[in-house]
Amino acid sequence: MKPFKRRRRGGITATFEQGEAHLLASLCGQVVELLRDRNGAAESSADPLAAQLGMGGPSTPPEDPVLQRLLPDAYRDDPDDAGEFRRFTERSLTSAKVANAEALIGSLVDGGLTFGAPPEEGGDPIEVELDDAEVQAWLRALTDVRLSLAVRLGIENDEDTMLVAESEDEAIAAMSDIFDWLGYVQETLIGALD
Q: Judge whether residue 134 has pLDDT over 50.
A: yes
Q: Does some domain include residue 118?
A: yes
| 189, 142 contact by CB (below 8 A) | yes
pTM: 0.86
Domain span at 107? 2-43+95-193
Q: Does some domain include residue 172?
A: yes
**How many domains are there within the chain?**
1
Rg (CA), the chain: 18
Q: Which amino acid is at 46?
A: A
Q: Does some domain include residue 67?
A: no
Compute φ and ψ for 129, nearest 5 degrees: -130, 120
* Residues 6+ away with beta carbon under 8 Å from 13: 4, 5, 7, 127, 128, 129, 130
Q: Please tell me the distance from the alpha carbon of residue 113 to that of residue 14, in angstroms, as a whole number.
A: 14
**pLDDT tens per residue, range 13-55:** 999 999 999 999 999 999 999 999 887 544 334 455 655 555 5
Q: Does some domain include residue 58?
A: no
**pLDDT tens per residue, range 50-109:** 555 555 677 788 889 999 999 998 988 998 888 888 888 888 899 999 999 999 999 999
Q: Please tell me the distance from the alpha carbon of residue 105 to that of residue 102, in angstroms, as a whole number.
A: 5
* Residues 6+ away with beta carbon under 8 Å from 69: 147, 148, 150, 151
Average pLDDT over residues 130-140: 97
Q: Does some domain include residue 147?
A: yes
